[in-house]
Amino acid sequence: MNTLLLDLDDTLYDLDAHRFRHLERAWHQWLITQPPNDVPGILQAAVTQRIFFDEMPGFLHQYGVKDNQAAELCTNSRATWIRDLRLDDGVAPLLDILATRYKLGLITNGSSKIQRAKIIQFELTRWFTVIIVSEEYGVDKPDPAIFWHAASALASDAAECVMIGDNPEADMRGAQAAGMRTIWVQRPELYKNPFTREVAQYPTGLPAPWQTIPHVRALLTVLEDSCNG
């Protein structure tokens, strides 16, 4: 193993946690007018329902927010969504180490406009010599072609690559079909149960990943243990 391919969303950062923090700031002027005990529930509901820009006016109307204020809150959210993004704690130091030991590639599904903005915000070109956004390549994960393309761009064979990601279908199935080892990031599923954060369960119909970790921060330990073993 000399090449690591990583997913972006919910692998290098927690999208639900970002959504909660971001809305708390973007909607601050309205939230401070609400009973303090109600605010966490409002934010949790927005996270659970995966409220994004198009859904914001309807969501806010449920809480009595008038059209003008809802539009203002939505505009503020649009203006600060990317700027509020940050890698999970410990991820940058991890990538510093990994970049000295492995060839690193990033494969992310999504639109070029949104994913490239995240990549710039996170300064991911500091660590990743190959970054593939599905819209630009024309193929989404789990198509094996996008994994083979990443391996080829890094001058690696599929057998030398390990794919690390949170999505069993897109990340694990796709990389396995490409002949790669896989490491599943078993994140808590905030959107399924926002108060207990139940641990995600791996689908029984998919081939098991090579390794499972609770967070990408545990990646280095797993890799070192596999080499020593």
In this structure, what token pair is assigned to residue 126?
A: 């500091």
Neighbours of 25 (CB within 10 A): 13
Element holding 174 (H helix, E strand)? helix 174-177
In the chain, CATH 3.40.50.1000 covers: 3-13+87-228
Q: Is the peptide bond before 214 cis (omega within 30 degrees of 0)?
A: no
- Model pLDDT, residue 229: 57
User: Rounded to an integer, what distance in angstroms lies between the CA atom of residue 14 and that of residue 215?
Assistant: 10
- Model pLDDT, residue 190: 54
CA-angle at 199, arms to 176 and 77, nearest 5°: 95
Is 206 in a helix, a strand, or coil?
Answer: coil
| pTM as predicted | 0.90
User: Rounded to an integer, what distance in angstroms lies between the CA atom of residue 133 and that of residue 141?
Assistant: 10
Secondary-structure class of domain 3-13+87-228 per CATH = alpha beta
pLDDT in tens, the chain (229 residues): 899 999 999 999 999 889 999 999 999 999 999 999 999 999 989 998 989 999 999 999 999 999 999 999 999 999 999 999 999 999 999 999 999 999 999 999 999 999 999 999 999 999 999 999 999 999 999 999 999 999 999 999 999 999 999 999 999 999 999 999 999 999 875 544 445 556 778 888 899 999 999 999 999 999 988 776 5
Contacts of 194 (CB under 8 A, 6+ apart): 44, 47, 48
- Is residue 160 within 8 A of residue 1, CB to CB? The reply is yes
User: Rounded to an integer, what distance in angstroms lies between the CA atom of residue 74 and that of residue 68?
Assistant: 10
In this structure, what token pair is assigned to residue 170?
A: 């897109």
- Is residue 108 within 8 A of residue 7, CB to CB? The reply is yes
- Model pLDDT, residue 191: 47
